[in-house]
Chain A
């Protein structure tokens, strides 16, 4: 079946602009996660949704970052006033239930470059 999909695959923007990154989880997966991966590093947790609500947003670096999942399926990660340090690969993952019980499956990522 279809895996996790993310759009766009690449995004180039200018410092100070607003960007939205989209994630379509595997159908039927109730849990959705966002991670950020810098070059040469392991992914770092940003936020976790169980259904429509953000169950854990403690990984968001500051208030420029926000994510929604209004219908419990597709999620959008929103970054305001982008900074060069935001450049990274943003990965989305989904799991059937909470990761404490289920494997997370990752999407291909969105490569964000802030000039």
Chain B
């Protein structure tokens, strides 16, 4: 059974600081996604990572993938309040069809 684990589950940080969210998964995956969810809202796609060593950046967020370690990271640079949200990683497996298997989510709060 595929398991996806994120840590930390809760993260409170000051504006201007850097931090990294980790996502581990238990089985070789096809694709890894990062989504953002604001309170009471749906999920917004941030990144899709396809291959070992893939790195993608958008603004203050950078995601990377190490398929050998079955690990993805979401790095936050110089956090700002607008980044406060819950971040989910999710993976797909060719053997599990097209379903996304999500981690528990990391609730990020950026304090002024």
How many Å from the CB of B101 to the closest CB on chain A? Answer: 7
Task: Tell me if A42 and B98 are in contact (CB < 8 A).
Answer: no
The answer to whether A65 has its CB under 8 Å from any CB of chain B is: no
- Contact partner of A48 among B48, B97, B101, CB < 8 A? B97
How many Å from the CB of B10 to the closest CB on chain A? Answer: 10
Please name all residues of chain B whose beta carbon is closer than 8 Å to the beta carbon of A108 when the two chains form the complex: 41-42
Comparing A14-22, A74-82, A98-106, the segment that makes contact with chain B is A98-106
The answer to whether A45 has its CB under 8 Å from any CB of chain B is: yes
Task: Tell me if A59 and B99 are in contact (CB < 8 A).
Answer: yes
CA of A42 to CA of B93, assembled, Å: 17
Evaluate whether A45 and B48 lie within 8 angstroms (CB atoms) in the complex, with A100-B94, A106-B42, A108-B41 already known.
no
User: B interface, how many residues as a size bin?
Assistant: 20 to 34
Task: Tell me if B98 and A31 are in contact (CB < 8 A).
Answer: yes
Interface size of A by Cβ–Cβ distance < 8 Å? 27
Task: Tell me if B41 and A44 are in contact (CB < 8 A).
Answer: no
The answer to whether B104 has its CB under 8 Å from any CB of chain A is: yes
The answer to whether B102 has its CB under 8 Å from any CB of chain A is: yes
| B68-101 Cβ-contact flags toward A at 8 Å (1 or 0) | 0000000000000000000010101110011111
**Residues of chain B having any CB pair with chain A under 8 Å:** 4, 30-31, 33, 35, 41-45, 48, 88, 90, 92-94, 97-105
**Residues of chain A having any CB pair with chain B under 8 Å:** 31, 33, 35, 40-45, 48, 50, 55-56, 59, 91, 93, 95, 98-100, 103-109
Listed by A's residue number, 27 A-B pairs whose Cβ atoms lie within 8 Å are A31-B98, A33-B98, A33-B100, A41-B104, A42-B4, A42-B102, A43-B43, A43-B88, A43-B100, A43-B102, A44-B102, A45-B99, A48-B97, A50-B98, A55-B98, A56-B98, A98-B98, A99-B31, A99-B98, A99-B99, A100-B93, A100-B97, A100-B98, A103-B45, A104-B33, A104-B100, A106-B43
Beyond the given A33-B100, A95-B98, please list 17 additional residue pairs across the A-B interface where CB-CB is below 8 A: A35-B100, A42-B4, A42-B88, A42-B90, A42-B104, A45-B99, A50-B98, A55-B98, A91-B42, A91-B43, A100-B31, A100-B97, A100-B98, A103-B45, A105-B45, A106-B43, A108-B41
